[in-house]
Amino acid sequence: MVEDGYVDIVNVDISSVVIEAMQKKYHDVCQLKYVRTDVRDMSEFESESFDAVVDKGTLDSLMCGHDSQQNSFKMLEEVGRVLKDGGVYILITYGDPSFRLDLLRGTCLWTVNLHVIDRTEKSSEHQSWELTRTVPLNEDGSFSLSVLGPNPEIHYIYVCVKDASLKQKLRENGADINAQN
C-alpha cells in the first residue's frame, strides 16, 4: 500500500508479539503504524477516523472462537464506529456468504457488494471470475453458490460501504412501529 501512495496506514493486532515483530521488520517505513488492540473495543481510535478498513482473517478468527456471534458483532460495530460515513470495510475471507452476508447486514451499517477472487493455488479447470464484477445476489439478498459454478476455488471479498442513513432509517422505522402499537 505504501508503494501505491498511501501515507497513513494503521495496522492492528491483539498480539503484542505480532506488533513487535512487525514494528521491527518495518521500522524504516514511517507510513506504517502498529497498534496492539482488541478489535471488539478500539476506543483508542476516534469515531469516524478511518477512510477504510481491510480485514484478512480477523473476522474469520472471531467466527471460530467462543461466543463467535457476539464477538463478531462487537467487532463489526467497532469497525462501523471508526469508519467515516462513506468509508469502506473490505473483508477478504473463505467465509461462505450464507453466513457472512447475514452477519454484515445485521449491523445495518453499510451496503454490501460481494466479489470473488481466484485462490492462487486454483487448478486450471475451474472457472475464473472477474474481480471487478460483483457476484449477483437473489432478490431477497441471499446468495446462490451455483452462480459461481461447481466447486469454486475462490476467496470471497465483501465490499461494505458505510451509510449512516441506514441506521437512522432503522431507528425511524422502529419509532414508527412502536407508535403504532
Asked whether the beta carbons of 14 and 38 are under 8 A apart, the reply is yes
Secondary structure string (H, E, C) spanning 43-74: CCCCCCCEEEEEEECHHHHHHCCCCHHHHHHH
pTM: 0.84
State the span(s) of the chain assigned CATH 3.40.50: 47-180
Model confidence at 181, pLDDT cuts 50, 70, 90, reads very low
**Confidence bin at 177 (pLDDT 50/70/90):** very low
The answer to whether the beta carbons of residues 59 and 34 sit under 8 Å apart is no
Mean pLDDT of the chain: 86
Give the class (CATH, top level) of 47-180. Answer: alpha beta
Reported as a single tens digit per residue, the pLDDT across 93-144 is 988 888 899 899 888 899 999 998 877 665 555 566 676 778 877 777 777 7
Choice between 153 and 53, residue whose per-residue pLDDT is larger: 53
Residue with cell 460481494: 114
Q: Could you tell me which of 159, 108, 164 has the C-alpha nearest to residue 131? A: 159
pLDDT tens for 7-37 read 999 999 999 999 999 999 999 999 999 999 9
Residue partners of 11: CB distance under 8 A and separation at least 6: 22, 32, 33, 34, 35
Across-strand partners of 91? 55, 158
